Amino acid sequence: MNDVERASKQGISRRTVAKAMAWSAPAIAVAATVPVAAASCVQTTSFDDLRPGTRPSTLTFLPSQVTATVTRRRKNGQVGYGASGEVARTTTNPAWSYIEMQMSGRVDRNDWVELTFHLSEPVEGLSFIIHDIDKSNWIDTAYVSPAGFTASRGSNITGAGTSSNPFQPIAWGDTPINEGAGRVRVTWPGTVQTVTVRYVAGQNSSSNQHIGIGDLSYEACLPRTKSSAASPQARSLMPSGRLAIDANAAVPEPSQTEAQTDS
């Protein structure tokens, strides 16, 4: 059972979660890797040891030294980033962490914000979860690039995750972030180096709507730079890694750290 599944017993919605904030310069934080069979060599991070309220600009997978820079964009100056790119933590027991994507202030239909993860080298099997896609006074929609990914959708999610057919909720309602109905896992079976998630408003809204990105993972044994040099047996013995953030990760201003709600 992973962090999300354990948390699903709590039934607490992300829409009412207030995030704990850190005001001092963040120390290097390390997220524990979920244990897996050695033969799979899948490195999975839950962000659980990253400091809530920080906005990491660089993620490092240890001991591989593969890094990922995190950048954000928005459609225009009207829509606010809110907490996009920041680490947030649920109030479930046990609690778990994720990366925010949010649109704040005035939000019109088709406004968007996006996060891009650019890895320092190509990897295979890159995967993550988009959490809490739902609709009430807002409509969450999202799509990812590049093409070539597979999608495992929750029961309340439809769409192919493309710009013409984005992931979106089926039924109306504010589903808890820790339930599986409103999430989708995307995975690139092949090699990829840069991925982008665009979060799009499905209707006009004055609320602070948001979703979350969690459980970033990849096939650590099979990056392109190593697969040709090591045998499958040797690759299966490579140590599993952990995710760390750089010590210079920015801390948000106090104005950006209010409790986030959609309604």
pLDDT of residue 221: 61
pLDDT of residue 46: 54
Inter-residue contact 82 to 208 (CB < 8 Å) = yes
Structure token digits, residue 105: 């202030």
Q: How far is CA 65 from the centre of its chain?
A: 20
**What pLDDT tens digit does each residue of the chain (263 aa) get?**
444 444 444 443 334 333 332 222 333 333 333 333 334 576 655 577 689 999 999 887 766 778 889 999 999 888 999 999 999 998 888 888 999 999 998 899 999 999 999 999 999 999 999 999 999 999 999 999 999 999 999 999 999 999 999 999 999 999 888 888 999 999 999 999 999 999 999 999 877 799 999 988 888 664 444 433 433 333 333 333 344 433 333 333 333 333 333 33
DSSP letter (8 states) at residue 6? H
pLDDT of residue 60: 73
pLDDT of residue 50: 83
pLDDT of residue 43: 62
Residue 161: closest CA among 135, 187, 137, 139: 187
Q: How far is CA 180 from the centre of its chain?
A: 15
pLDDT of residue 182: 96
Look up the CATH number of domain 26-250: 2.60.120
- Give the DSSP per-residue string, 154-212: -TTEES-SSSSS-BEESS-B---TTSGGG-EEEEEEEEEEEEEEEEEESS-B-S-EEEE
The Cβ of residue 150 has, within 10 Å, a number of other Cβ atoms equal to 11
pLDDT of residue 48: 72
pLDDT of residue 219: 80
pLDDT of residue 188: 97
Contacts of 40 (CB under 8 A, 6+ apart): 219
Cα separation, 49 vs 96, in Å, equals: 9
pLDDT of residue 234: 34
